Amino acid sequence: MHFRSLMERSAFGVCSYVGQKIGIAASRVRIYFIYLSFVTLGSSVILYLFAWFWMNIRQYLRRGSSIQWE
């Protein structure tokens, strides 16, 4: 697996998810996060990390709900 594909899937997954939900390109969302980071002196990174954490928790919960309990 290439480093770029690994980074796009794990680190940039938040931007592509947000872009998909809003209906704009993921690259534009990435640019907005970068601009917002400069304007807010980096505090948008906290928002990004929270979104990334939440997406991972949702994925984990969905995998767990597909297990059939006896």
The per-residue pLDDT for range 9-65, each reduced to its tens digit, is 666 678 888 888 889 998 898 888 888 888 888 787 888 888 888 877 877 777 765
- pLDDT, residue 46, reads 84
- pLDDT, residue 66, reads 58
Alpha-carbon distance of 20 to 23, in angstroms, equals: 5
CA atoms within 13 A of residue 24's CA, in its CB half-sphere: 9
Q: Per-domain residue ranges for the chain?
A: 3-65
Cβ within 8 Å of residue 19, ≥6 positions away: 25, 26, 28, 29
- pLDDT, residue 5, reads 66
- pLDDT, residue 52, reads 80
- pLDDT, residue 62, reads 75
